Structure 1
Amino acid sequence: MRLEAMLRLIAGTMLLLSIALSYFVHSNWVWLSVFISANLIQSAFSNWCPMITLLKNLGVKE
């Protein structure tokens, strides 16, 4: 799996997980969704995402 596809998979999975946790466990889990969304927005402007750096270090191909 390529880097962009892996990033989208991780971001989408984490968002769905945090929404489910905020619904079923505790409403404060919504802050994880806010953090992920803010990170996606900042990466659109800065062209840098911490998850991409991590995935590159783990050897995921571009």
Structure 2
Amino acid sequence: MTVEKIILLIAGTVVLISSILSVYHAPEWIYLTGFVGANLLFAGLTGFCPMVKILRKFGVKSGDAFTRS
């Protein structure tokens, strides 16, 4: 699995879980959803994502996430 796919999976999972928690547990969980969205926006504009650095330290390789085989 590549860095890009892992980041998409992590971001999607965090957004989904925090959205569900904000509905069923406490409304404050929506701030986590906003944080993930802001981080994705920042990464799209600047090309910098902290999760990429973490995953590369674990030896995960980059790849072409959206190319067709």
1:52 corresponds to which residue?
52
SS at match of 2:59: coil
Give the whole-Å Cα distance in 2 for the aligned partners of 1:46 and 1:20.
29
Q: Using the TM superposition, give the Cα deviation of residue 47 of structure 1 relative to its aligned residue in structure 2, in angstroms.
A: 0.2
Matches within 5 A, 1:1-62: 1-62=1-62
Which 5+ residue runs of structure 1 have no aligned equivalent? none
Letter in 1 for 2:12: G
Structure 1 segments, 4+ long, off by >3 Å, are: none
More helix, by proportion: 1
Give the whole-Å Cα distance in 1 for the aligned partners of 2:57 and 2:21.
29
Identical positions, percent: 39
- Provide the aligned C-alpha RMSD in A: 0.6
